[in-house]
Structure 1
Amino acid sequence: MQPATTATINNQSNYRQTSVPAPVRISTLSPQEQDVRYDAIGAKHGAPAFRPGQNIEDAVCYNCRHTGHLASRCPQPRFTHKHGTQAPSSPLSPRPHAPDQPTNLACHSSCEDSLDGSKIQCAVVAAQVSGLGDIDAFPDSGSRVTVLSSAVTKSAKILPWTKSPLLVVGGGVVLPSGALCVRISVGAISGVVEAAVLKDNALPLILGEDWFQAACAELHVKPPHPTEIHDPRRGITVLCSEKVLPRMANAVLLQGSALSRFHGQPYTTDGLQTEPLASDEKPPWKLLHNVDINEFPALQTSSTALLDISQELNATQEPVEPALLKACLGPQLSPKERNDILGVLQDHIAVFASSSRDLGLYEGVEHEINLLPGSKPYGRQPYRHTLEDRNFIETETAALLEKGIIVPSTGPWAFPVVVVSRENKKRLCVNYIPLNRMTESVVQPLPRADDIMDDIAGCSLFAALDLKFAYWQIRLRPTDQPKTAFVTHMGTFQWTRMPFGLKNAPATFQRAMNLIFSHMKSRHSKCGVRTYLDDVLAFATTFPEIIDLLDEVLALLRQSGLKVSLEKCRFGMASITFLGFVLSARGKQPDPQRVEAMLRIPKPQTTKELWSWLQTANFYRRFIPGFSKTATPLQALVRTGIFTWSAECESSFQSIRRALISSPILGHFIDAAPTTVTTDASSVAVGAVLSQSQDNRETVIEYASRSLTKEEKQQHSNVWE
């Protein structure tokens, strides 16, 4: 017989908040959503909610119940709210002063009353939920919030969850996937609440304390009599029926916390049958770490229920698919190295965005729009769009409103929107050209790609992270928000976060990244972190170094409040794509995907198309020997302004395409290696090759070339070289 202790999380337990919820930013919602939120607040407190613009004399204090001021400015002593289900005798009667009462484990007075072998009996009542229909509801006076399962809210418009995470029995916490303002009616008893939406919760609807307050109802539990929901004001009583559910855990509550670090994959069995705690002491029991308190019978498998520990491993976020995590890891890593990286990722799993609604926010920087002297507001009517584009604009605007990224605007600014189609995808863009012309420039240099590639010379392990909706994680200064207003056929809206397309947006974001990683950029070049806007690159020469770097980078991102897109991240890679290049210990080469995209571009038909293609090819000119000489016919065609595609232009066009396909891997520059510069010149351009002797062989570091000016063409060839 081996000493053992067991503790499980009951998936049917009540939920309560860990701390005072953060205030809901009602001003960021649409007018319709604001009405629903205000109605829910008023129903919860039994008095109309105070709205912006309303006369303060009409406000009702939720503390003393008098008019003329708000609870935050109430001169009377603060009353604490009793967490029971006893409704006030009158909607405007003073609240009783009573200490907080502990919440119950279930909707019954005690756990022992509800346990019967491997089953648990719960009170259930038919409820009608606005917009969702009839749902089985489980009244729970111990739950401070009403909970809806995501399985019954798939067709509803879910709002972002802006309050604190919820604490479940056992010490774990869970972050709701959203909130839903609904009216819940049980017979003739009705109340409006803001329910928390939990992903795949076992119970479709849990009626929490907030609903009983909003409905001014009481929960009467007097076993063996049926559970009742009673409205004392109108004398209405609704009887609950009993529903038998599989028991998910023993009636033993162990005080503890969720796991802080996990290596490996979650493990599930066919079910666990637990035995009562063999102790003479009365509950609650407190277990000390590694202390034997008694001997227990061996656990035996049964068919009661699955024990799923994924919520305890990742209580504040939706579980991340293990396959997705593994796809982000370097294929050359050993099993132990993969587990080590997965352990670090699990430690910082909250930094990865769980959905498109999971937006981060960095408080260290605000984007400012400082106008040039004499600038005046710019307002225009919306552009006309096709019916398909109008529907797209409506969908995108509704999504931005739901996330709180935009709010309705009533200012004098209004920039029209355009719908841009690219690669069978549509994007909603705002024409901020007039605003950018009247905005003062900010000097914030961006890192040079060639400097970053020089820094990683000699490194063999890399990790790359990409932020989720990067610009939207920077707050826009409130006084500048009206300047970003855009107009659609639905109305005018302004941004609360930094949008794309603003003149100084890249400078603001780069400044934020420099502040976050300032102390890490001073490390030696063989091990460190470099950032370019929303791209973060960590590089090292040994596996322990990359593990330490990754742990520090994720910790800094988590502390700063930023969210990362996991599907775009790569960890422990021997080669990695960064800023359009594939970087490895051998050197650098063009990104094959970008080269392939360039090869798909058809032959230019206008001077503008040719100029655009040349600019793209120029990005990889360091990989093409004699680029300037090869591109001379095309550059001459651009300068003339008259598009006449000649045989020389065709030959130049095809030569550059072939050079991109066969571009070599350029080595990293090593300070101590012997270096050679080979030059060449012609009547139209000059070129050079920088090479080094590395590992007893000649390695090309970079190709360089440029065209000669009109004056330089008159000089002697000796001067050219």
Structure 2
Amino acid sequence: MLALRNQMTRFWKEAQDNLEASQEVMKQWYDQKATLVEFQPGDKVWVMEPVEPRALQDRWSGPFEIKERKGEATYLVDLKTPRNPLRVLHVNRLKAHCERSEINMLLVTDEGTEEESEPLPDLLSAQEGDGSVSGVILSGTLTLNQKGDCYELLEQFSPLFSLTPGLTHLCVHDIDTGDSLPVKNKIYRLSDKVKASIKEEVSKMLTLGVIEKSSSPWASPVVLVPKATAPGAKPELRFCVDYRGLNSVTRTDAHPIPRADELVDRLGAAKFLSTFDLTSGYWQIALTEGAKERSAFSTPDGHYQFRVMPFG
């Protein structure tokens, strides 16, 4: 029994020595990139705290004030909490707070230029125009000659500007679902107000020739999604179809999409930037016969399918 005790004592000492050696190696490796961080009383810091009730998720909160240095790597911090506002925290949980520098700006103008300055464009009224080039918004930094050149170019191609969507003949859109069986989802429960809005949207799309009545075995439910409107404007709803069931069986195209950062780099040397927003751009691309059947959707008033690419 005594021999066993001596043997266990020897094993324990060897384990302690190995642990200390491993800790020393780890400390040397960690200290290679470690930097000395010190704070003074009155400094502002951010504190890493767990997010309740997720104990394993942390976040930075603050800034708080350092009240006192308690040890080599611990500080007394005022967390401004109702209960126990003063807490001793390790330096690893603290991060220095950097005050933003004050921005001073000086604006110099000539006398009499205030009356000659152009008024800000009314974005809402421009969108409610008849689609002519007169509603095009040009940058206020352009000179009168540059604006004249722009309007002259726009007038030359004025048939391209309209609030009614066109239809391209250059391509069609197909939906490849392979050997998958038709996906048929039930209609969502809707209020009478929403049903009336859906009926109105369906009537508009039938008039435009965007949709047609269908007998397809495929069916997806419809939803109304709030549109992003200007503050104070009347809220609007966008007619969308919930195609999650169809998307789950659709074979995606592996064609590479251009990288956004590369496109931005290509624009870096440009002197002028022009943006064009297609009028209901998706509706300007026709669907194949197979894609029409797969785009079918159901409403409380009937079963329809898209003739062009749908939104949502």
**TM-score band, normalised by shorter chain:** 0.5 to 0.7
Say which of 167, 173, 185 aligns to 1:367. 173
Residues 319 and 366 (structure 1 numbering): CA distance in 2 closer, same or farther, change over 3 Å? closer
Paired residue for 1:331, among 135, 140, 144?
A: 140
Q: Deviations for 1:197-239, whole angstroms, at most 9, x for unmatched residues?
A: xxxxxxxxxxxxxxxxxxxxxxxxxxxxxxxxxxxxxxxxxxx
Q: Residues 563-620 of structure 1, C-alpha deviation per residue, up to 9 Å, x if partnerless?
A: xxxxxxxxxxxxxxxxxxxxxxxxxxxxxxxxxxxxxxxxxxxxxxxxxxxxxxxxxx
Aligned to 1:59: none
Task: State how far apart, in whole Å, the 2-side matches of 1:364 and 1:320 are.
Answer: 25
Shift of 1:320: 2.6
Name the CA shift for 1:320/1:480 in 2 (closer, same or farther; >3 Å): closer
CA deviation digits over 1:304-354, x for unaligned, max 9? Answer: xxxxxxxxxxxxxx67373x23xx11212222221111110000001011x
The answer for the alignment partner of 1:401 in structure 2 is 206
Write out aligned runs for 1:128-139 (5 A).
none
Give the residue type in structure 1 aligned to 2:226: S
Question: Quick check: which one's helix share is greater?
Answer: 2
Letter in 2 for 1:441: T
- Secondary structure, in 3 states, of the residue corresponding to 2:224? strand
| Equivalent residue for 2:275, pick from 458, 464, 470 | 464
Change (3 A) 1:336 1:344: same
The answer as to whether partners of 2:214 and 2:304 remain within 8 angstroms in 1 is: yes
Q: 5+ residue gaps in structure 2? A: 1-129, 229-234
Q: Determine which of 166, 182, 186 is the counterpart of 1:377.
A: 182
Using a 3 Å threshold, how does the CA distance of structure 1 residues 470 and 422 change in structure 2: closer, same or farther?
A: closer
TM score, norm. by length of structure 1: 0.24
Are residues 349 and 380 of structure 1, via their aligned partners in 2, closer, same or farther at CA, if it must alter by over 3 Å? Answer: same
Q: CA RMSD in A?
A: 1.7
Could you tell me which residue of structure 2 aligns to residue 221 of structure 1? none
What per-residue deviation string (whole Å, max 9, x for no partner) do you get for residues 455-510 of structure 1? Answer: 12232211111111111110100232111110000100000001134xxxxxxxxx
- Cα distance in 2 for partners of 1:337, 1:422 equals 35
Match of 1:417? 222
SS of equivalent to 1:343: helix
CA distance 1:439–1:348, change in 2 (3 Å): same
Which string of whole-angstrom CA distances, capped at 9 and with x for unpartnered residues, describes residues 401-423 of structure 1? 11100000012111111122354
Following the alignment from structure 2 to structure 1, what is the Cα–Cα distance between the partners of residues 168 and 156?
21
**CA distance 1:319–1:473, change in 2 (3 Å):** closer
Counterpart selection for 1:350 from 151, 159, 178: 159
Aligned to 1:320: 132
| 2:285 counterpart (450, 474, 485) | 474
**Superposed structure 1 runs of 4+ greater than 4 Å apart:** none
Residue 379 of structure 1, CA deviation = 2.1
Q: Distance in 1 between matches of 2:203 and 2:274?
A: 35
Are the equivalent residues in 1 in contact too, given 2:184–2:217 (CA < 8 A)? Answer: yes
Question: % of aligned pairs identical?
Answer: 31
Aligned residues between the structures: 177
- What letter corresponds to residue 292 of structure 2 in structure 1? Q
* Corresponding residue SS for 1:415: coil
Could you say what secondary structure the match of 2:217 adopts?
A: coil
Contact 2:133–2:158 (Cα < 8 Å) also in 1: no
**Structure 1 CA distance for aligned equivalents of residues 292 and 182 of structure 2:** 13
Structure having greater relative contact order (Cα 8 Å, sep ≥ 6): 2
Letter in 2 for 1:415: S
CA distance, structure 1, for counterparts of residue 181 and residue 241 of structure 2:
19
Report the CA distance shift for 1:450/1:496 in structure 2 as closer, same or farther (over 3 A): same
Shift of 1:449: 1.4
Distance in 2, Cα, partners of 1:372 & 1:477: 15
Q: TM-score, normalised by structure 2?
A: 0.54
Letter in 2 for 1:495: F
Which residues in structure 2 correspond to 1:24-39 (within 5 Å)?
none
Task: Indicate yes or no: 2:252 matched with 1:447.
Answer: no
Equivalent pair of 2:283/2:309 in contact (CA under 8 Å):
yes
Match of 1:527 in 2: none
> 2:292 and 2:192 mapped to 1: Cα distance?
29
Counterpart for residue 246 of structure 2: 435
Cα separation, 2, equivalents of 1:493 and 1:320 = 33
Check the 8 A contact 2:198/2:239 in 1, yes or no. Answer: yes
